[in-house]
Structure 1
Amino acid sequence: MILLMGIADDPQIITVAEALANSGKSFLVFDSSLYPVQHRLSYRPQDDSMQLQIGEHCLAQSDIHSLYWRTLSPPREAQENPIALRDSASLLRSFLHSLGDKSKNTADAINFHQEKPRQLAQVAKLGVSIPETYVGNDPRAVRAFCARNNDVIFKPVTGGDYAQIVNQAHLTDEHLNSSLSQSPVTLQAYIEGTNIRSYVIGDAVFSAEIRSSAKDFRTDEGAELIPIAIPNEITEQAHAICRVLGLAWSGIDWRRTPAGNYIFLEANPSPMFVNFEQRTRLPITQHLAQLLGA
């Protein structure tokens, strides 16, 4: 049995489900937000055995061939009860860790993605180029970083929001003291060039150039996607990045400079791909379904 973990109406879940059905593979959609109201999860630490019940289906770890990790949603009915929320999340995460590399991607790889500063450092150690970056909440260091670089973008440390250009209003004492006393920030030197997205799925790599004049192409509904073949050196870097981050598959974002150099921005362990596939005709779903069924 293949588990698809996410919301049933997510386009990614729907597309992967259709591909698996067409290839004759058995699958179930596991919406973690419905646990523990609709799903049942049991664990015996004595022999490290678990059982997941989804509707009429009861699955031990040995019954689960693989898991596609699209989203891990917190239990919906436990939101107002902090203890219930922590307890539900604890057992759910224990279950996901128990699957090991059956999970695409593993719980450890997903957790690694939440530590983006460490992710960037590991990629840099491979010899892959990354933007000059500062992560922290020291106002003096923020000003010094911005003084060294003509254009600087800022974004949350864990991601999840669009990158924006730093302006003088952001560097006032009032703004810095207010914002940096609440949380650290990620600053990066803005890289002139073109956005490239690469999907790495097992041994396969599919890439497209994203033509957009926006600082963050995700804000540009008119962005143009053009399939390309990236240089062999960058293909090798993409595979090395996935290995060091423990990723069986990933969506990697690069910035290609006017001189043709590729700068690594991020490796997403659960990227959206349906819109990308529809606009490029690159066979992302096919290879993802093959990865899950292998």
Structure 2
Amino acid sequence: MTVDPSAPLIVGGASDPNLGVLIEAFRRAGVPAQPVLVGAEVPALAWEPVGGPLVIDGRSRTPRAMFLRHDVFGSLGDRDPRNAAMWASANHKPAALALADQVGLRPPATLVTNDRAAAEAFLGSCDKIAKPVAGGDLARPLCEAMAMASRSAGPFAAPAIIQERLVPPEVRVYVIGEQTFAFEVKSRHLDYRAANDAEVIALDAVPDGIAGPLLRLARTMELDFCAADFKGAPDGSLRFLEVNTSPMFARFDQASGGQLCDALVAWLCEARPARLASLEAARGR
């Protein structure tokens, strides 16, 4: 079957369940899409960035939109993106915390350090957590993270983000264009990613004081799609933890009854709310 070469490109790993539910949402809506999936077989790609064609598997593509699950172009030789400053902030957790504070979101007190004594002294006797600045590992109690460090004395090999240990509720808010979708995540673990037993609950509305500032943050960071994580402080307020620029969403889409993927389809097709309403009607909601 011939697919419209201007249809949205859906790019990522062939075994990624998040792309699976998004491609199914396109099919369900009767909207064409062009999956470009990398697995055991790798698609052939050629692209001239300045005015040239994008050719994938021998076919010229002119997509009007693209959903890139991960930065599959990150290993290219030319790392000079046009929006380098925003790319850097979007992938730099401390910078994102500073930007979040500027737009009115409230991060917890934070110290970035590789100094063992400074980490222990920060916030006094308050319970603290540590997580790597560059990501790639779970948030852990500070004492546990220090015990796991490769160096038993002196500065740590890499800096960590040290923060006050927060408490439930834990809330994730997705941004898709100008829309927001909120979920509560219930888990017995400090970091719900530690096990696959967390309960995900779609919320009827985004908690007060979050949607507007979060949309401003997304615009500042030039993010059309992202998810931000929040957790409770002792005073009952929700504190901003981080923004995820390529978040997982399959499980959250399931909890929402398909609303996340419907919104992604509508946004990628440059649809208006009426288009999203028609997608929901087609599914009998």
**TM-score for both structures, normalised by structure 1:** 0.78
Matched with 1:43 is: 48
| 1:197 aligned onto 2:183 | no
Q: 1:66 Cα deviation (Å)?
A: 0.8
Distance 1:14 1:173 in 2: 38
Matched with 2:70 is: 71
For the residue of structure 2 that corresponds to 1:6, the secondary structure is: strand
| 1:22 aligned onto 2:21 | no
Match of 2:113 among 129, 136, 141: 136
Distance 1:200 1:133 in 2: 24
Q: 1:221 to 1:9 in 2, by over 3 A?
A: closer
Match of 2:102 among 125, 139, 146: 125
Structure 2's unaligned 5+ residue stretches are: 1-6, 271-285
Superposed, which structure 2 residues align to 1:251-266 within 5 Å?
A: 251-257=227-233, 259-266=235-242
Q: 1:176 to 1:247 in 2, by over 3 A?
A: farther
**Further displaced range: 223-232 or 63-72:** 223-232
Match of 1:185 among 157, 160, 174: 160
Q: Is the 1:31–1:73 Cα contact (8 Å) retained in structure 2?
A: no
Q: Is the 2:227–2:243 Cα contact (8 Å) retained in structure 1?
A: yes
Superposed, which structure 2 residues align to 1:42-121 within 5 Å?
A: 42-43=47-48, 48-59=50-61, 63-73=62-72, 89-91=76-78, 97=81, 109-121=86-98
Sequence identity (%): 27
Distance 1:271 1:278 in 2: 15
For residues 68-95 of structure 1, what are the alpha-carbon distances to aligned partners after superposition, in whole Å with 9 as ceiling and x for unaligned?
Answer: 02012479xxxxxxxxxx6xx125x66x
For the residue of structure 2 that corresponds to 1:71, the secondary structure is: coil
For residues 48-84 of structure 1, what are the alpha-carbon distances to aligned partners after superposition, in whole Å with 9 as ceiling and x for unaligned?
Answer: 213222113113xxx2211102012479xxxxxxxxx
Q: Is the 1:149–1:189 Cα contact (8 Å) retained in structure 2?
A: no
Matched with 2:201 is: 226
For the residue of structure 2 that corresponds to 1:49, the secondary structure is: coil
For the residue of structure 2 that corresponds to 1:120, the secondary structure is: helix
**TM-score for both structures, normalised by structure 2:** 0.80
Q: 1:259 Cα deviation (Å)?
A: 4.2
Structure 1's unaligned 5+ residue stretches are: 76-85, 99-105
Q: Is the 1:253–1:266 Cα contact (8 Å) retained in structure 2?
A: yes
Match of 1:292 among 268, 277, 285: 268
Match of 1:13 among 19, 22, 45: 19
Higher helix share: 1
